[in-house]
Amino acid sequence: MAGIPEDKFIMTDEKYQSGVAVDEYAGKISIVNARQGKDGNVYSEWAYPQQRIDGENVPGQKALPWKILLGGSQAEAVSILKKLLIMVGDGPASEEDYNSVPVTPEKDDDIPF
């Protein structure tokens, strides 16, 4: 079973080796609940969604990954993440302010001396 690439995983709980990861499936970008297994690989967590049957909550028959859809494109995902940063109080006050901040990718080819 193939796992999630380690560079797409952010560990948020070292005790349980769990965190969040960015996943792309069928052209859609999502944040998934993930954990690092004992083998060192990162796997998404799966759950059985509840169904309401005869007035009771019953686990569904098919497990699905825990995920939050961010959009169908990188631009959509970035826009939603900017809005989340605004909601938690980090960064500029509006999405328009984020658009004025230049994005510079990190370079690995810089000589350290």
Q: Model pTM greater than 0.75?
A: no
Could you say which DSSP state residue 8 is in? G
3-class secondary structure, 1: coil
Q: What is the CA radius of gyration of the chain?
A: 18
- Model pLDDT, residue 95: 63
Per domain, the residue ranges of the chain are 6-72
**Tens digits of residue pLDDT in 89-100:** 866 666 666 665
- Model pLDDT, residue 63: 94
**Tens digits of residue pLDDT in 100-111:** 555 444 444 444
* CB-CB contact of 69 with 81 (8 Å): no
* CB-CB contact of 62 with 48 (8 Å): yes
